[in-house]
Chains A and B, each alone.
Chain A
Amino acid sequence: MLEKELTTIVGRDHFTLTETDRLLNAHDASPLSEAKIRAGEALPLADLVVFPASAEQISEILKLANRLRLPVIPVGGGAGTCGGTLPVYGGMQLDLKRMDKVLWIDDESMTVRAEAGIVGIDLEETVNRRGYTTGHTPTSLRASNLGGFIATRSGGSMSSLYGKIEDLTLGLQVVIPDGSVIECKAVPRSSVGPDLRQVFIGSEGTLGVITEATLKLFPIPEERRFRSMSFKDVHSGLTAIRMIFRQGVFPSVVRLYDPEDTAMSMSSHFEVEEGSCMLLLAFDGRSDKVALDEKIAADICLKEGGKDYGEGPSKRWWEHRYDMYYPTKFTTSGYSIGDTIDIVATYDKLERVYHSMKKVMESHDAVVMSHFSHMYQHGGSIYMIFFTSQSDAESAWATYKKIWDDGVAACLREGGTMSHQHGVGTTRSTYTADELGSSFEVLKSIKSVLDPRGIMNPGKLGLGVRQ
């Protein structure tokens, strides 16, 4: 019956029950997926994969899935790092890659409307041709897509200037689990009740399927300038960053590398003092404004004891910013496993969170290196990157879990939040209740109203485990 109905909805060519296709669509870019692939282990498979072409088709599919109580896992680029699209309870993967069109570009309002399945780089190149940028360029740009950006509440590498996906998304079309196609109007602002877009931005497929979005656009900057400064420690680097924002300067890129990450990422290309911290800055905009912003920022850095490295390290990072997303023989060898906990805190807590997390993570035989990126006026994110190498798979996974458990606990204890942009998926699902505290009940209530049968992406975001 399922096959017959799906054939009516999407056509026989656009769904598959073949094991090979289910296998090839099963994984994302999470360390769990990658480690299982390396070890030749099986990942959880969906029972079928469906490739819809429109919101109308998705509406019919969700009605059908609701009737059959079939789990539905929306899939975008499959490039997530948290297992958000893993079909842990089987069911149907709803793959949006056929919905890949740019519907229109509005030059007057500087907005673009696109379908959710468009790959990030395809969207960016399309608007670039018209002289715009979306301002949203995460490292996964070549692999992830628009729906995934929104569903995971992602942030690009230039979020300090252009904003995060929740700032960039003006309008949204979502198919909710009962099959209704809802629109959140594309307006720059509204005071008509709570902003319902934000219910779905970051919902990770647990509340519905994002099918289209209207995004802000920005003119491609006349100039992008780079500047790099090194500091004697994390504290002085963070102080400089705070002061730059306080002066009303918004660099497009702000990245402060701690001593370990500076040694790892910079020392083979530039002469850096041991124990120093490198700050990378970029400035976008009109040439005269960029020159002024750069001067103000540089003066602040020098006043805080920074050592000027010119454009070199920052420009090099920019030119190689996608390289770290590729696997290497080191990261795919034996029983080594690495991951990133991308936490956020306000400035008053940021250093405490950093030191506390680093201490507990290192206590589990992990190499920890970090950079402070995605910085804002009131605080910012830390990429707590760790690697551990163990003698066998079991020890590697046990260590990995301890690092995560203790790392997140330290983050929450010191007042941080456990993710800036990667989302929750399966990796952070069990920590969600602790993170959200009393407000978790509100999220659960929303879920129970929108998805009473719990079909949408069960097991993610701490929600919707099938009974």
Chain B
Amino acid sequence: MERETLLSQTRLCAACPKMCRHVCPTFLAWRSDSPTPHGRALLVYQDLKGVRPLDDRSIEVLYQCLECSHCLTWCLPEVDVAAIVESTRTRLVSEGREPAGIRELSDKIRESHNPFGEPHSSRLDWKRPKTSDGRKIVYFAGCTSSYREKEIAESTVSVLSKVLGYSVTVSPEEWCCGSPLFRTGQLGSALEQAHHNTELLNSLEGEMVVTSCPGCYRSLTQDYQKHGLVVDKPVVHLSKLLSDSVDRLPQAESSPVITYHDPCHLGRHAGLYDEPRSVLKHVSKGQLVEMERNKDNAMCCGNGAGLRALFPEESRVIGRARIEQAEATGATQIVTACPFCKNMLASQARSKGFVVDLSEFVMSSVKSSGTKAKTD
């Protein structure tokens, strides 16, 4: 972001009586004026003006942000605090001033190509269902589905193959998409991953690349392009692909009442609100109820932009609050379309199975309806 734009945007935000603060998840977690959009903007503004440089606590405040952009929904002058934070983080990293925990994250990704520090060789250690021999498609599984939420990877391949009839390629050479690095300002490390993935995806045969992770989707479609890296085939999120083929999806014999949690990267950052809903309405036969805060007003799960890595306790407070919002709808299951969201929300749910991914929900309906696989 250009300096003049940063100055004018942060000046506006710093002069606001905090009209978005009430929806900021980190305000909810800390209940202080420091980790708020206004607080972040004021620190950046004073730094840019040369009034007060960012000190260690300021840097900590800038890393106490989920970059969820919920504040932007409530901002009449449309000040993009997430972009301001990310741009400032990038500068801090270039100056070697990022928090140590963030540097460790980068080291792990550069060494093992995933943020968990798991061996790269075990990336495909999940049960890959047999795929059909239909049209070829590439599934970019992402780190969380590969290592922590393996059911999502398995269900995604199943739904692509058994329900939509694709021949699915998953490459063992896939690296982290770079999302955690882009979001935390580690541009150099992010681009290393991005270059590799672009080359890899362009070398694979398939009519499109499908992601089940909105973080991967945003990186591949927005961050890579911003830096001149072009994947030579369409990149789609699973929810979009499924909604385009909604008539071919099974319907559950008896679906629980469900509610949908909008992942920030899929909703506010990519504008995909209706696609997952159309899938869920169809599959559940209309058993979808909305949370009070939904679509562009949906609350973040608390698991983004490095917050959980640096501040796990506050991250959980946010996840717990979102679970309570889901419970208030009376739904017996919350469906999301993001492995990162699922991971956080499931950790805060009272019962196992309360949180499922879209791919899992569709596949559970296949099982319950006894629908046979449809292939082209």
Contacts and interface: CB of A to CB of B under 8 A. Distances in A.
Interface of A: 18-21, 23-25, 28-29, 34, 37-38, 40-42, 49, 51, 77-79, 95, 97-98, 100, 117, 119, 121-122, 125, 140, 142-143, 322-323, 325-329, 331-332
A307 B52 CA distance: 55
A40 B14 CA distance: 11
Contacts of A325: 17, 19
Given A122-B22, A326-B76, A327-B15, 14 more contacts: A18-B57, A20-B58, A23-B42, A24-B61, A34-B15, A37-B11, A42-B51, A95-B32, A100-B31, A140-B17, A142-B19, A142-B21, A143-B18, A332-B12
Given A20-B55, A328-B77, A40 B46 contact: yes
Given A20-B58, A21-B32, A326-B16, A142 B45 contact: no
B273 interface: no
Contacts of B20: 142
Nearest to A322: B19
B39 A78 contact: no
Contact of A332 (B11, B49, B74): B11
B14 to A, nearest CB: 5
Contacts of A326: 16, 19, 75-77
A25 B33 contact: yes
Contacts of B36: 24
A19 B55 contact: yes
B77 A327 contact: yes
Contacts of A20: 34, 43, 55, 57-58, 61
Interface residues of B, number: 36
B32 A51 contact: yes
Contacts of A142: 18-22, 74
Contact of A143 (B12, B15, B21, B31): B21
16 contacts: A24-B32, A24-B36, A24-B38, A25-B33, A28-B17, A38-B15, A40-B51, A77-B18, A78-B18, A79-B18, A121-B22, A143-B21, A322-B19, A323-B76, A331-B15, A332-B12
A19 B15 CA distance: 20
Interface secondary structure of B, over-half rule = loop
A25 B17 contact: no
A78 B33 contact: yes
B132 to A, nearest CB: 48
Contacts of A19: 55, 57
Contacts of B50: 40
B33 A329 contact: no
Interface in B303-351: none
A461 to B, nearest CB: 21
For B15, B16, B49, B58, which residue has the most chain A Cβ atoms within 10 angstroms?
A: B15
Contact of A37 (B22, B45, B75): B45
A377 to B, nearest CB: 32
Contacts of A23: 42, 52
Contacts of A122: 22
Contacts of B16: 29, 326-327
B324 to A, nearest CB: 13
